[in-house]
Amino acid sequence: MATWIVTREQRDAEQTVQALRERGLRARALPCIAREALAWPAELTPPGDRATLLLCTSPFAARLVIERWPALRAAAASAALSCAATAPATARLLDDAGVPVAVRATGGVVALAAAVADAVRAGPRPWVLYPTSDVGDESDEHAAALATLARVADVKPAVAYATRAPTGLDDALRDLEPDAALLFFSPSAVNALVAAAGRTGVALPATMVCVGASTAHALEHVARRSATLVPRGADLAEFLSTLTPSLPEAPP
């Protein structure tokens, strides 16, 4: 049985590892990104003149919204305020905090934008406030989601947190198990791990699985390797259990 190496930010990785272990898989965390909250942008304050959706595409963004929810709710005044969130983890975090989630979708920001468009198409044009990371707003999927949303809403994206490689990644990578299989959730994690592998000379495992098309594209671009993409809407643990990871490739 392979050891699934979860490359998410520490807190999110631990939750994923626990969920995989509960389903009988071997897993551990190897955080390849760290996030830092920035000053909350003024653009992400509800104008209060009409209904507003806060777009949350990661658990970290959801936590920022949860922390600021009383102030955001006050700024919205009598106008409706709720969230649109990726499912299941981000939406569940908001649910547990009592923050209303009006729209939810699996499959990342593009799928969530499409779900928002379907939900608001027949009604008045709302505001959509989108807290992003300093690297997330550069992706093709980000641009595609904004284009979809702009057809049905007035959209304000703004950088609310920074994403970077964590300290100690090079040393941590040297302890990679012989039966390791990598599980990526973001292009940032892909970029950080592949760069660390290049610096340390550690061979990448033969099996690398990506959640989200943008993550798979990043892996194919920077590692020159085909990625196994988790099908949209698939149960992650169930999908991973169907795979037979290959042995590591020998370094050239």
Tens digits of residue pLDDT in 169-200: 999 999 999 999 999 998 899 999 999 999 99
**Residue 10 CB neighbour total at 10 angstroms:** 14
Q: Check whether residue 146 and residue 181 sit in a common domain.
A: no
pLDDT digits (tens, 9 = 90+) for 1-38: 899 999 999 999 999 999 999 999 999 999 999 999 99
Q: Which of 66-70, 93-97, 140-144, 186-190 has the lowest mean pLDDT?
A: 140-144
Assign 252 a pLDDT band (cuts: 50, 70, 90): very low
Query: Residue 227 domain-assigned?
Result: yes
Assign 203 a pLDDT band (cuts: 50, 70, 90): very high
State the residue range of the domain holding 23. 3-35+168-241
The pTM of this model reads: 0.83
Looking at the structure of the chain, the number of domains it has is 2
State whether residue 160 is helix, strand or coil. strand
Q: What is the CATH number of the domain that holds 134?
A: 3.40.50.10090
Tokens 């006050």 belong to: 74
CA–CA distance, 122 with 172 (Å, rounded to integer): 51
- Alpha helices (runs of H) in 23-108, residue ranges in sequence order: 59-76, 89-96
| SS percent in the chain: helix, strand, coil, step 5 | 40, 20, 35
Largest CA distance in the chain: 63
Q: Where are the beta strands (DSSP E) in 87-230?
A: 101-105, 127-133, 154-164, 180-184, 208-210, 228-229
Domain boundary residue among 161, 194, 220?
Answer: 161
* For residues 126-143, average pLDDT: 85
Query: Residue 89 domain-assigned?
Result: yes
Judge whether 49 and 21 are in contact, CB under 8 Å.
Answer: no
